[in-house]
Every structure is written in C-alpha cells, then in structure tokens.
Amino acid sequence: MRKFIIKCFGFFLIVIFILSIILVEYGSYIDFFYNKFTTPKSKSLIIGDSRGLQGIQPSIINKELKNSNLELPILNYSFTIAQAHIGELYRKSILKKLDPKSKNGIFIISITPWMLGSKKENNNYAGEFKEAGTPPHNMTFVDLNPNFEYLLKNLNYFNFKGVFKKNSILHKDGWLEANNLPKDSITFNAWKQTQLDIFNGFIKDYKVSDYRKKSLDTLIKNLKEHGKVILVRSPIDKEMLDLENTFFPDFNLFIEGISERNNAKFLNYTNKFLKIKFQTYDGHHLDKFGGVVFSKSICDSIINLKY
C-alpha cells in the first residue's frame, strides 16, 4: 500500500511538472485569464468585461502616457461579462491585484450597463451572485507563476486546442488579442446576430441592480485612494447600443452623476462612433486594429483633461 501511495504521489508530481511547463510556455494560448494571475501586483489597472479585455491595450497606454507622472505600466484586469459584474467579489479581487503602494496610478473602468445587472432571482444583498465561484473571485493568489491554484480550481477554462489553433493570445499585460477575425460581411453579420441574441436573452433574465450601482461608487472611492479614475463607455454598433438603452435607459446619466460626485472622469464613446472609425468584429467587441485607435483616443483624452 505504501509503495502504491508513493507511486501515485510520484505520478502526481510528474503531471504537475508537465502542466507547469505547458502553462509557462503556452498558457497564453489555452486560457483567456491564466496570465492575469501570474504577474506581479500593478499600480495601474484596466477593469471591465470583454470589451475592456479586448478593446483597451496596455502597451498603447504605456507608450502614449510614458511622459506623464502616472505610475505605469498598466495591467489589463478585465474578464468577460460572466465574471466582471460590478460588486463586492470583483472589487475584492481588484484590490488584491492592486499594488497597495500605488499613489498616482491610473484606473480605467470600461463600464457597460450589463456589468450593473443581476439575475432577477438573485438577491445581491443576501450574497447571491451569479459570478461566485468563477475566476477571479475564486482566487486567493493573484500573482504566482506558475499558479497551481488556478490550475486546480479552473481547469475547465482551459482549451488545449488553442495551442495549435492560436486564434487568440492573452498577453502578459492582460490584453486578449483575437486573431480569428471575420473576413467577409456574411461572417461579421452572423457573429453580430449571435451577440444580439445573447443580450436579448440577458434583458429577459436580468435587471439593473441597485446593489451593483452602489458597489461601483465604493470601487471608485477605493481606487481614488491610489490615483485617478476614468470611466469609459466603449464604442459599439447602433443595434447593440439600442439594446443597452432598453436595458438601462438612464445609464449615461447615472455614470455622469457618479463620476461627478467622485471627481472622476467619464468618457462616452458611444456618441463618437460615427465620427471616429472604430472597428468591431461582431458589433460588440473592438478588433485589435480598432483597439489601437481606441486606446490612443483614451490617452489623448487623459492628456487633454490634464487629470
């Protein structure tokens, strides 16, 4: 029995060793989040759902703002709408990833109406959250490399075929680069319709949460202790914008109010979509080329605000 246990333990160590090598070498291809938990704590952060995850590029911000007095580099700590609902869980994880020594960081919150939504049957005040049990909320350690906690808790997020397909790569700075872009209008329209169908379903099952609205205020106040806060509403196609306005008609007014009360800034790019060419690949997410233009535009605004 003892020999059997020793053999099993030895086998376990070998498996862990092999997985460690795979994660270090190819983790950026097989998981959309893993790298975020292997990098050091950061003094500046990008926060949001998949629009922020794909649309705001830290490398551009670090380059454009290198002559500012902001504490850079910035890290993209955005996820997808399944995880990035504003609330106590996301706030705690953000503060874990934030370097507590930061005093003049820049915090870009890529905010959407969906991030302030909760399932209709959930009582947030009673601790009922759809995102519970998912990364980053189930992570105790957010800056270990390799991160075995992530491996043990979130193996279901791994897509090992990604090593060969390389349709997307999660950069070390947290930016998710999508390479499998539509090559024709038929594919684009099909992908766009898929997104519209998803969020039409969201409207049926979700409601705007007062708890999450208050949590956004708390998050802004926490981040203001470590630097400057910018709230950004990303450019999207008109059909998607119409859906968001149906779900949360007063969203812009709410964000303007909460920004003003906290001496933060709100950059609304939904009303600039027709003036500046931002490319999406599904009407919802900026592609990597549109993301460059968008990230530079955010930096220009920060510089012009002298904020």
Q: DSSP states of 170-203 as a string?
A: E-TTS-EEE-----SHHHHHHHHHHHHHHHHHHH
pLDDT score of 162:
45
- Is 179 within the bounds of a domain? yes
- Is 212 within the bounds of a domain? yes
- Is 201 within the bounds of a domain? yes
Task: Return the structure tokens found at 229.
Answer: 């806060």
- Is 12 within the bounds of a domain? no
- Is 79 within the bounds of a domain? yes
Q: Which residues pair with 230 in a beta bridge?
A: 108, 265
* CB burial string 32-63: b at 16+ within 10 A, e below: bbbbbbbbebbbbbbbbbbbbbbbbbbebbbe
- Is 15 within the bounds of a domain? no
pTM over 0.85: yes
Q: Which of 41, 105, 50, 47 is nearest to 80 (CA)?
A: 50
Range of the domain at 210: 39-142+162-305
pLDDT score of 140:
97
Q: Which of 54, 53, 60, 100 is nearest to 77 (CA)?
A: 53
- Is 26 within the bounds of a domain? no
**Contact partners, residue 162, CB within 8 Å, separation at least 6:** 29, 30, 31, 168
> Domain of 207: which CATH number?
3.40.50.1110
pLDDT score of 183:
86
The total of structural domains in the chain comes to 1
- Could you list the pLDDT tens digit for every one of the 307 residues in the chain? 666 666 566 666 666 666 666 666 566 667 889 999 999 999 999 999 999 999 999 999 999 999 999 999 999 999 999 999 999 999 999 999 999 999 999 999 999 999 999 999 999 999 999 999 999 999 999 999 888 898 889 877 766 554 545 678 899 999 999 888 888 999 999 999 999 999 999 999 999 999 999 999 999 999 999 999 999 999 999 999 999 999 999 999 999 999 999 999 999 998 754 456 688 999 999 999 999 999 999 999 999 886 6
User: Measured between alpha carbons, how far is 35 from 2 in angstroms, rounded to an integer?
Assistant: 38
